[in-house]
């Protein structure tokens, strides 16, 4: 199967990666929907919605600060590093659902964070926004305008940042190869990106140890972990 695609893959000019929590699993960051995932332990409706936040901002902040501690000690794994390395040979765009910043720490230059960033905070009212790496003593933290601060992430029921989403769509529509890594493709609108790419003639490759709802639409589905499969796939593309 790979041989039939290898020319298209090697000749591809613009490669778009759509990544999810699975690519960071081998950096020690749990996914959401695996059997040991976060949504097995916590109820997303209690922690990852705007209503949950206003109902109990301290609880939501405690959960995010716990995740922040894990993210700050995590390191990019061979999957993140292989994508960053490919930028030396091809035009590479990373559209990630992850909020852990590991693609940027691996060296990827063009990373669109569709669901925001765990290492950024913003005010719930004024336009204050800042990096965030030292946990707050008092929760919920307050902005200098007096209102509470929140993590700069996209919660269920919230729209994606429209400039980021518009740019992500245009990359998906204009790429000739899309590699979808470590995502269950359960959450929209991120899970529509492969459809846009396919409609415009891109080759779709999926890397995921499990089948997903879109595996049958992929030109190639590699059922392996990304830390193993990505370095191998990318070394073939670079040849």
Query: Least distance from C-beta 36 to ligand APR, angstroms?
Result: 10
Which of 39, 128 has the CB closer to ligand APR? 39
Q: How far apart are the first and last CA of the chain?
A: 18
Which of 37, 57 has the CB closer to ligand APR? 37
Query: Least distance from C-beta 212 to ligand APR, angstroms?
Result: 6
CA-CA distance, 176 to 16, in Å (whole number)? 8
CA-CA distance, 100 to 117, in Å (whole number)? 7
Question: Is the peptide bond preceding residue 189 cis, with omega within 30 degrees of 0?
Answer: yes
β-bridge mates for residue 220, sequence order: 205
Which of 12, 96 has the CB closer to ligand APR? 96
Which of 21, 218 has the CB closer to ligand APR? 21
Query: Least distance from C-beta 184 to ligand APR, angstroms?
Result: 3
Residues in the chain: 239
User: How many angstroms separate the Cα of 63 from the Cα of each of 56, 84, 135, 149, 237?
Assistant: 11, 30, 11, 15, 40
Which of 32, 165 has the CB closer to ligand APR? 32
Find, among 140, 197, 143, the residue nearest to 170 by Cα: 197
Which residue's CB comes closest to ligand APR?
Answer: 22
CA-CA distance, 237 to 222, in Å (whole number)? 15
Is 171 assigned a catalytic role? Answer: no
Catalytic residue among 7, 89, 103, 115: 115
- How do strand 129-131 and strand 116-123 relate by DSSP bridges? antiparallel
Query: Least distance from C-beta 29 to ligand APR, angstroms?
Result: 10
CA-CA distance, 96 to 34, in Å (whole number)? 18
Binding residues for ligand APR, rule: CB under 6 A, are 20-23, 25-26, 31-34, 37, 97, 115, 182-184, 186-187, 207-210, 212, 225-226
Query: Least distance from C-beta 122 to ligand APR, angstroms?
Result: 17
Active site residues: 115
């Amino acid at each position: 199967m790979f041989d039939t695609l290898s020319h298209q893959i090697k000749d591809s000019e613009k490669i778009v990666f759509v990544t999810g929590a699975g690519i960071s699993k081998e950096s020690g960051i749990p996914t959401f929907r695996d059997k040991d995932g976060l949504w097995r332990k916590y109820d997303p409706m209690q922690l990852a919605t705007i209503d949950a936040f206003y109902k109990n901002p301290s609880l939501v902040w405690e959960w995010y600060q716990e995740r922040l501690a894990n993210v700050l000690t995590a390191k990019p794994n061979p999957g993140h590093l292989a994508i960053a390395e490919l930028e030396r040979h091809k035009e590479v765009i990373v559209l990630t659902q992850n909020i852990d910043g590991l693609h940027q720490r691996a060296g990827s230059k063009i990373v669109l964070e569709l669901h925001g960033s765990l290492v950024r905070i913003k005010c719930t009212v004024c336009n204050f926004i800042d990096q965030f790496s030292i946990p707050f003593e008092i929760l919920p933290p307050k902005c200098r305008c007096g209102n509470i601060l929140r993590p700069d992430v996209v919660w269920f029921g919230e729209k994606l940042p429209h400039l980021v989403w518009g740019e992500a769509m245009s990359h998906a529509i204009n790429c000739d190869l899309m590699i979808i890594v470590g995502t269950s493709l359960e959450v929209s609108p991120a899970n529509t990106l492969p459809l846009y790419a396919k409609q415009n003639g891109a080759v779709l490759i999926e890397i995921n140890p499990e089948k997903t709802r879109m595996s049958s639409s992929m030109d190639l589905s590699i059922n392996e972990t990304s830390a193993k499969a990505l370095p191998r796939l990318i070394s073939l593309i670079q040849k």
